[in-house]
Amino acid sequence: MATAMLTCSCCLRFKYSPEEIEQRHKSQQIDRMIERERQSLRRQVKLLLLGAGESGKSTFLKQMRIIHGLRFEPEVVREYQQIIYQNVVRGVRVLVDARNKLGIPWEHESNAHAGEMVLRSDPNNFIEPVPFTRLCPSLQALWNDSGIKTAFQRRSEYQLSDSVGYFLDNLPRISRLEWTPSNQDILHARRATKGVVECVIPIRGVPFRFVDVGGQRSQRRKWFQCFDSVTSILFLVSSSEFDQVLLEDRRTNRLEESRNVFDTIVNHLAFGNVSTILFLNKTDLLLEKVRSGLSDIRNHFPQFSGNPSEPTDVQTFILSLFSSVVKRRRRSGAFGGREGEERTQPLFHHFTTAVDTENIKVVFGAVRDTILRRNLEALMLQ
């Protein structure tokens, strides 16, 4: 056997020129590299974060970084500081405009001037600490006015970011020149995701690739380019938005929009063997809205038959809206079971608060173990 191999090696030397032999070696190295990458991709867990706009996908991805010890770089923290300044100024402008349009009187008429000044302001002029700090006394006076507080309580009637209340409650801290955003501040910072954002985090020796795609209608056409080799879909829903309409058309109920998008995804043929995990997010805001009695879910979903002031009844109803659209389909056999057998796609769900690190840590712990187990099963069958 050794002689035969030597003979072949000698023949190779006479048959090919040195340049050709070098090219063959390079080709073999590339083939080995491609095979290593292929094996690595097989081990990789790819999680697709989907959901309508403002459902909390980007916040969830930030939590993954925080929970797994990936610090935000100084330049990223600096960028979030500017985003937060803009969130505050834009939020107050929306509140002042809403107060005007809703005909809510000022508690202190002297705040009318501050309100007009903020309305005329460009948020981009206040992304640095000094100009923002100079504006803060006016912002604080407006936030303290009962007219603005009443407009804030009626925020389901217009478009206001969920984070505005958090930042205005923390304005004395944020207005300090030496302030640097904390992780909690960064979690509340709001910037619409444009395009596709990916983040790879090693978890228990396995690379988890999180793919966050913008949820606004204009961004959804980019979802399909991310469908390849998906391990699981994490679909996020803003459960507190049962009484709000879309920013895009000002007519469509946000919860109905999320349900329609979920229907399209969970029943898509491309995901026949992909587990879908439903995160009914913003539980904290939902509980606050239900318990306050300021909004009755029956006004938006007449089919609701429970107690509109009981959070458990409301959560059970919202879950049923989504679980009811999951259809039966034929099994391909990739995760066991008989080929061609009809079954209902299993729907795992969790009630979450994406800005609560402890909550997401517990929830993702359960999700992670399920995903790793299913991924191992898939690898063994390949």
Q: Which of 188, 220, 254 is the last residue of a domain?
A: 188
- CATH code for the domain of 162: 1.10.400.10
Q: How far apart are CA 134 and CA 126, in angstroms?
A: 9
Say yes or no: 168 and 277 in one domain.
no
Told to judge if 212 belongs to the known catalytic residues of this protein, a careful annotator would answer yes
Q: How many CB atoms lie within 10 A of CB 152?
A: 18
In terms of Cβ atoms closer than 10 Å to its own Cβ (0-12, 13-18, 19+), residue 37 is: exposed
Q: 155, 190, 254, 259: which one is catalytic?
A: 190
* pLDDT (tens digit per residue) in 229-287: 788 899 999 999 999 999 888 889 999 999 999 998 888 887 777 889 999 999 999 99
Short-list 89, 104, 108, CA closest to 168: 89
Q: How far apart are CA 76 and CA 281, in angstroms?
A: 25
Told to judge if 216 belongs to the known catalytic residues of this protein, a careful annotator would answer yes
Q: 133, 193, 216, 252: which one is catalytic?
A: 216
Whether residue 208 lies inside any domain: the answer is: yes
| Cβ 107 vs Cβ 152: under 8 Å | no
The one-digit pLDDT tens for each residue of the chain (382 residues) are 444 444 454 554 556 677 777 777 777 666 556 545 544 445 689 899 999 888 999 999 999 999 999 999 999 999 999 999 999 999 999 999 999 999 999 999 999 999 999 999 999 999 999 999 999 999 999 999 999 999 999 999 999 999 999 999 999 999 999 999 999 999 999 987 777 888 999 988 889 999 988 655 555 555 665 667 788 899 999 999 999 999 888 889 999 999 999 998 888 887 777 889 999 999 999 999 999 988 999 999 999 999 999 999 999 999 999 999 998 654 544 444 455 555 555 678 999 999 999 999 999 998 888 888 766 555 444 4
The distance between the two most distant Cα atoms of the chain, rounded to a whole number of Å, is 101
The H or E element spanning position 260 is helix 254-266
Q: Which residue has the tokens 């995901």?
A: 271
Q: 54, 145, 243, 257: which one is catalytic?
A: 54
Q: How far apart are CA 288 and CA 244, in angstroms?
A: 15
Q: Which of 124, 159, 188 is the last residue of a domain?
A: 188
Say yes or no: 88 and 233 in one domain.
no
The H or E element spanning position 279 is strand 275-281
- CATH code for the domain of 296: 3.40.50.300
What is the sign of the dihedral through the CA atoms of 93, 96, 100 and 102?
A: positive
Q: Which residue has the tokens 């944020």?
A: 174
Number of H helices, E strands in the chain: 14, 8
Whether residue 17 lies inside any domain: the answer is: no
Total of domains in the chain:
2
228: DSSP letter: T
Whether residue 22 lies inside any domain: the answer is: no
| Cβ 164 vs Cβ 156: under 8 Å | no
| Cβ 220 vs Cβ 96: under 8 Å | no
Q: What is the DSSP string of 276-335?
A: EEEEEE-HHHHHHHHHHTS--GGGT-TT--S-TT-HHHHHHHHHHHHHTTPPEEE--STT
In terms of Cβ atoms closer than 10 Å to its own Cβ (0-12, 13-18, 19+), residue 129 is: middle
Told to judge if 344 belongs to the known catalytic residues of this protein, a careful annotator would answer no
Q: Which of 139, 165, 188 is the last residue of a domain?
A: 188
Q: 145, 212, 243, 257: which one is catalytic?
A: 212
The H or E element spanning position 196 is strand 196-203
Whether residue 352 lies inside any domain: the answer is: yes
Say yes or no: 84 and 179 in one domain.
yes
Say yes or no: 152 and 205 in one domain.
no
Domain that holds residue 256: 46-70+193-374
Whether residue 97 lies inside any domain: the answer is: yes
Told to judge if 339 belongs to the known catalytic residues of this protein, a careful annotator would answer no
Told to judge if 54 belongs to the known catalytic residues of this protein, a careful annotator would answer yes
Whether residue 11 lies inside any domain: the answer is: no
Say yes or no: 207 and 239 in one domain.
yes
Say yes or no: 207 and 124 in one domain.
no
Short-list 236, 242, 249, CA closest to 318: 242
